[in-house]
Amino acid sequence: MGQVSASSSIVVAADPQRTLAAIGDYETIRPRILSSHYRDYKVVEGGNGAGTVVEWTLQATEKRSRNVRATVTVADSVLTERDANSTMVNTWTVTPDGTGSKVTVETTWKGAGGISGIFEGIFAPLGLKKIQAEVLGNLSRELA
């Protein structure tokens, strides 16, 4: 099993504090910025920042979906979503960038072994980066 990861970044027109608050708003903002790849999104506990628990189904491809139950932690300018159903971790990092902020989202998980793991390591990040780019673009519009 190898580590698989996908990372995407965008610069948004909001200061880091406002940006991190928006990323951590799972009740109002998060549902508005998710792409159509996300289904059955719901807040289970909390709803804002650390301690929040959220569930969704990520329809990565026509045939491949993942049921996620993520618990949120926040440390400084980093928000982390850890999936209780798998090894998947989403890490959102916000840093100052001029008058705005740079947002980077990285998704990592332990991939399959063998030949299927090789294909997963090559193709899964490509698809996931497209999903990340759409969500980040929606976040940028939300903060404009």
End-to-end C-alpha distance for the chain, whole angstroms: 41
**Residue 112 C-alpha from the chain's centroid:** 21
Structure confidence at residue 117 (pLDDT) = 56
Structure confidence at residue 61 (pLDDT) = 77
Number of compact structural domains in the chain: 1
Structural domain boundaries, residue 27: 3-143
| Structure-block tokens of residue 11 | 């610069």
For 101-127, write each residue's pLDDT tens digit.
999 999 998 866 666 555 555 567 778
CA dihedral 23→26→27→29, nearest 10 degrees, is 30
Give the CATH number of the domain where residue 119 resides.
3.30.530.20
Tell me the mean pLDDT in the region 52-67.
Answer: 90
Tell me the mean pLDDT in the region 60-85.
Answer: 94
